[in-house]
Amino acid sequence: MFRRLALASLACLVAMAAPIARGAGLTVSAAASLQNAFREIAIAWEARHARDRVLLNFAASGTLLQQLDKGAPVDVFASADRETMDRAQAKKLIDAAARRDFARNVLVVAVPTASSPAITSLADLRQDAVRRVAIGDPRSVPAGRHAQAALDAAGLHDAIAPKRIVAQSVRQVLDYVARGEVDAGFVYATDAAILQDRVRVAFDVPLDEPVRYSIAPVKGTANAAGARSFIDFVTGAQGREILARHGFAQP
């Protein structure tokens, strides 16, 4: 059985620089919303590579980008949006030629299952009964950026601003909703599906562009072959099947 380490911070990643350079494993930094799918993908990939192990680091895509920019020893970067990957590419942090879109998701407004306010549209978030609305920090969380764009397009920025509870990742938003600490939260459909006994989808959020996920090898990785192999697996038949089971659509 292979040991798995979920890395939570840049400090942990930097501390691991030496063993990774010796080829101890493959480090994958992935958006928080990919946790369940990528844990299963990592196990399946390891089954084909008996001497390798995958080290998974989950956080908001913007946070992962900051880690890369500060020299975190990462082999593969998977972002919950194209914009963050564009920024990584502009900074020459990834192998742009090997970059691929690999999944699509839907932004939704989720509410606690026992929620009483009737919420069926963005406009309903203005109700007095809706006191707290959780949103990922638009500066680092793609779901929060998409949500903010939708609210701005609907002319609801000022109305919702006093109710906003800012979270550091989409999974933190999900936790707030599941615990009933907020009346509504912007998450992905795949996140809401994880806690169907505590969270229900109120409605899909209208967006100008679909939510697409991107993946790429990190430039200068010490395990280029492993990075290519992992990305091929994610975008291949078995990876697509696992992503589909977790609610992701093809890009």
CATH of the domain at 219: 3.40.190.10
How far is Cα 164 from Cα 132, in angstroms, rounded to an integer?
Answer: 6
Residues 87 and 118 placed together within one structural domain of the fold: no
The domain total for the chain is 2
pLDDT at 52: 87
Residue 214 pairs in a beta bridge with 79, 101
Do the domain assignments include residue 251?
A: no
- How sure is the predictor about 116, in pLDDT bands with cuts at 50, 70 and 90? confident
| Residue 15 CB neighbour total at 10 angstroms | 12
φ, ψ for residue 96, nearest 5 deg: -60, -35
Residues 129 and 183 placed together within one structural domain of the fold: yes
Judge contact between 85 and 94, C-beta under 8 A. yes
pLDDT at 6: 38
Provide the mean pLDDT of the chain: 90
Paired tokens of 76:
């593969």
Kindly state the DSSP code that residue 157 receives in the 8-state scheme.
H
Q: Which of 4-8, 83-87, 182-186 is predicted least confidently?
A: 4-8
Judge contact between 92 and 201, C-beta under 8 A. no
Residues 118 and 100 placed together within one structural domain of the fold: no
Kindly state the DSSP code that residue 82 receives in the 8-state scheme.
H
Q: How large a percentage of the chain has pLDDT more than 90?
A: 86
Residues 92 and 110 placed together within one structural domain of the fold: no
Residues 152 and 223 placed together within one structural domain of the fold: no
Is the sign of the CA dihedral 204, 200, 109, 138 positive or negative?
Answer: negative
Question: Does 82 have pLDDT greater than 70?
Answer: yes
Do the domain assignments include residue 1?
A: no
Contacts of 185 (CB under 8 A, 6+ apart): 109, 110, 111, 133, 134, 135, 167, 173, 174, 176, 177
Residues 49 and 171 placed together within one structural domain of the fold: no
Residues 74 and 89 placed together within one structural domain of the fold: yes
Domain span at residue 227? 6-104+212-245
- Specify the pairing of strand 211-217 against strand 164-167: unpaired
How far is Cα 155 from Cα 76, in angstroms, rounded to an integer?
Answer: 38
Among 5, 31, 15, 142, which Cα is nearest to 72's? 15
Q: Which of 103-112, 114-123, 188-197 is predicted least confidently?
A: 114-123
How far is Cα 26 from Cα 24, in angstroms, rounded to an integer?
Answer: 7
Do the domain assignments include residue 250?
A: no
How far is Cα 59 from Cα 8, in angstroms, rounded to an integer?
Answer: 7
pLDDT tens for each residue of 175-204: 999 999 999 999 999 999 999 999 999 999
Model pTM? Answer: 0.86
pLDDT at 51: 82
Q: Within 13 A of 22's CA, how many CA atoms are on the CB side?
A: 4
Residues 57 and 124 placed together within one structural domain of the fold: no
Token pair 């100008």 is at which residue? 208
Do the domain assignments include residue 183?
A: yes
Residues 198 and 111 placed together within one structural domain of the fold: yes
Do the domain assignments include residue 21?
A: yes
Question: Does 33 have pLDDT greater than 80?
Answer: yes
Among 227, 214, 218, which Cα is nearest to 54's? 227
How far is Cα 42 from Cα 65, in angstroms, rounded to an integer?
Answer: 21
Residues 40 and 96 placed together within one structural domain of the fold: yes
